[in-house]
């Protein structure tokens, strides 16, 4: 179903969000206008696309990250976190007098579910004129969040012209969506988004409608602990989630990990059922620890979980 061009430096190039997260774990989610003592807190690197690149790198793929960091201390943390993992940062930029994207994330200790409060400095925004097109030209898959839609359209065009596939991590309707989505091959959204986008009151029918309208090869929604639903042509693949080994500590970045596992599965050349199982396994393993990246697994850990769950 996927055939990759060979003469490229990177398996996957990411263009989109990076962030530095302040994670605040609480015994239970606070009521409005209340006070609560936290259990623990930590500052860690995150952001959707940057975390997906780290996930892929841990799974043995070669990645590059194109995105913007501020000139602040958080920017140092963000860039170093990628370089330390082996993600290429040639196309990462520092913007003077800009703040790195930040998130305050409240994690409920009982369920591990998180609530995200974030801010992105407008100075980090790309226009189509300064989109790093060479990053899009030198990969087999371009993975994007549509944060700066016009720049993403230019990136997707460059990727397609160079023979790469385009993968999108999408949760919001934005101006230009109808120009971008026809270039997308792999569409992965959270459970509620396909119905919001189509106005159709059924997830399966929304996925089918999107797949037909835009011509995606893979159309997928993630369903939290319930796993995922993936549509390829007319085939529907429902994949249950995995129990998190040791219990679910934090779902921050689970969606980013899922996308890393899915792209890894596609590269591995196995069946789509196996790719979907790998995606859910990578995401469940991510939930073992606080933060978007700490518990992102190796291939060996994924294989072990699949085997232990009788799904290997
Ligand atoms: N509590 C959980 N237990 C096990 N796996 C989970 C859990 N929450 C999320 N996941 C995994 O992470 C993936 C993405 O989570 P989801 O909640 O759907 O994303 P988002 O929070 O970004 O909408 C799921 O498809 C699933 O594989
Ligand atoms: Mg979730």
Predicted confidence (pLDDT) at residue 284 exceeds the cutoff of 90: yes
Atom of ligand 1 nearest to the CA of 251: 8
Ligand 1 contacts (CB < 6 A) are: 112, 190-191, 222-225, 227-228, 241-242, 244, 248, 251, 254-255, 258, 280, 283-284, 287
* Domain ranges (residues) in the chain: 10-18+48-71+85-96+122-308
255 alpha carbon – ligand 2 mean position (Å) = 7
pTM of whole model > 0.75? yes
Q: Given a cut of 80, is residue 227 above it in pLDDT? A: yes
pLDDT for res 147? 87
Considering only residues 106 and 6, tell me which one the structure prediction assigns the higher pLDDT: 106
Residue 49 pLDDT exceeds 80: yes
Residue 169 phi/psi, 5° resolution?
-110, 110
pLDDT at 292 over 80: yes
Mean pLDDT in residue range 144-152 = 95
Paired residues of 115 in beta bridges: 106
What is the pLDDT, as a whole number, of residue 1? 86
Going by C-alpha positions, the residue among 113, 108, 117, 103 that lies closest to residue 39 is 108
Kindly give the number of the ligand 1 atom that is closest to the alpha carbon of 112.
1
| Burial class for 46, CB neighbours closer than 10 Å (0-12, 13-18, 19+) | buried
Spatial contact of 286 and 51, defined as CB atoms under 8 Å apart: no
Q: Which residue minimizes the CA distance to atom 9 of ligand 1?
A: 224
What's the mean pLDDT when you consider all of the chain? 97
Q: Dihedral sign for Cα 282, 285, 287, 291, please.
A: negative
Which of 162, 96, 98 is closest to 135 using CA atoms?
162
pLDDT in tens, 252-266: 999 999 999 999 999
| Mean pLDDT, rounded, for 246-251 | 98
Mean pLDDT along residues 238-259: 98
Nearest CA, atom 24, ligand 1 = 224
Phi and psi at residue 191, to the nearest 5°: -50, -40
Instruction: Name which of 290, 285, 308, 246 is nearest 55 in CA terms.
Output: 285
Positive or negative torsion for Cα 251, 18, 151, 59: negative
* Ligand number nearest to the C-alpha of 242: 1
Domain boundaries 10-18+48-71+85-96+122-308, corresponding CATH code: 3.40.1190.20
The answer to whether 224 and 241 have CB atoms below 8 angstroms apart is: yes
The strand pairing partners of 15, in sequence order, are 66, 144
- Mutate which of 222, 229, 246, 253 for ligand 1 pocket (most atoms within 8 A of beta carbon): 222
Nearest to 305 by CA among 294, 293, 295, 290: 295
Which whole number is the average pLDDT over 134-161? 97
User: What percent of the chain lies above the pLDDT cut of 90?
Assistant: 97
User: pLDDT band at residue 63, thresholds of 50, 70 and 90?
Assistant: very high
Residue 312 has pLDDT above 80, yes or no: no
Average pLDDT of the residues in 143-169: 97
User: Rounded to the nearest 10 degrees, what angle do helices 73-85 and 48-58 cross at?
Assistant: 20
CA distances in angstroms from 239 to 73, 207, 224, 231, 297, listed in the order given: 41, 15, 11, 11, 19
Residues 6+ apart with CB under 8 A from 30: 36, 106
**Residue 275 DSSP SS3:** helix
For residue 80, the number of C-alpha atoms closer than 13 Å in the C-beta half-sphere is: 8
Residue identifier of the C-alpha nearest atom 15 of ligand 1: 224
Q: Over the stretch 69-92, which tens digit does the pLDDT of each residue have?
A: 999 999 999 999 999 999 999 999
**What whole-number distance in Å separates Cα of residue 169 and Cα of residue 188?**
5
Ligand number nearest CA of 257 is 1
Q: What angle do CA 44, 106, 146 make, to 5 degrees?
A: 70
Contact (Cβ atoms closer than 8 angstroms) between residue 143 and residue 10: no
**Radius of gyration for the alpha carbons in the chain, expressed in angstroms and rounded:** 18
Residue 56 pLDDT > 90, yes or no?
Answer: yes
Query: Residue 20: what pLDDT?
Result: 98
Tell me the CA–centroid distance for residue 99 and ligand 2, in Å: 27
In this prediction, residue 311 carries a pLDDT of 86
Mean of the pLDDT values across residues 140-167? 97
């Amino acid at each position: 179903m996927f055939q990759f061009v060979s003469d490229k430096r990177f398996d996957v190039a990411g263009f989109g969000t990076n962030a530095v997260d302040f994670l605040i774990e609480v015994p239970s989610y606070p009521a409005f206008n209340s006070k609560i003592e936290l259990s623990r807190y930590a500052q860690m690197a995150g952001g959707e696309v940057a975390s997906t690149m780290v996930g892929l790198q841990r799974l043995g793929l070669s990645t590059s990250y194109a995105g913007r960091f501020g000139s602040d201390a958080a920017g140092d943390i963000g860039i170093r976190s990628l370089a330390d993992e082996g993600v290429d940062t040639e196309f990462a930029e520092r913007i003077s007098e800009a703040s790195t994207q930040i998130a305050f994330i409240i994690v409920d200790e009982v369920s591990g579910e998180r609530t995200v409060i974030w801010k992105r400095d407008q100075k980090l925004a790309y226009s189509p004129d300064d989109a790093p097109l060479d990053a899009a030209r030198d990969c087999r898959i371009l993975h994007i969040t549509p944060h700066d839609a016009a720049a993403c359209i230019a990136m997707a065009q460059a990727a397609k012209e160079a023979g790469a596939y385009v993968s999108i991590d999408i949760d919001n309707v934005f101006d230009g969506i109808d120009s971008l989505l026809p270039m997308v091959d792999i569409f992965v959204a959270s459970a509620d988004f396909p119905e919001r986008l189509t106005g159709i009151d059924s997830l399966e029918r929304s996925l089918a409608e999107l797949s037909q309208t835009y011509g995606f090869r893979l159309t997928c929604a993630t369903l939290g602990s319930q796993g995922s639903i993936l549509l390829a042509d007319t085939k529907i693949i429902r994949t249950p989630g995995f129990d998190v080994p040791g219990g679910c500590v934090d779902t921050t970045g689970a969606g980013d990990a899922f996308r890393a596992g899915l792209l890894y599965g596609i590269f591995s050349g196995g069946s789509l059922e196996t790719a979907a199982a790998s995606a859910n396994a990578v995401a469940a393993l991510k939930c073992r620890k606080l933060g978007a990246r700490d518990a992102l697994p190796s291939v060996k850990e994924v294989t072990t979980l699949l085997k232990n769950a009788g799904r290997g």
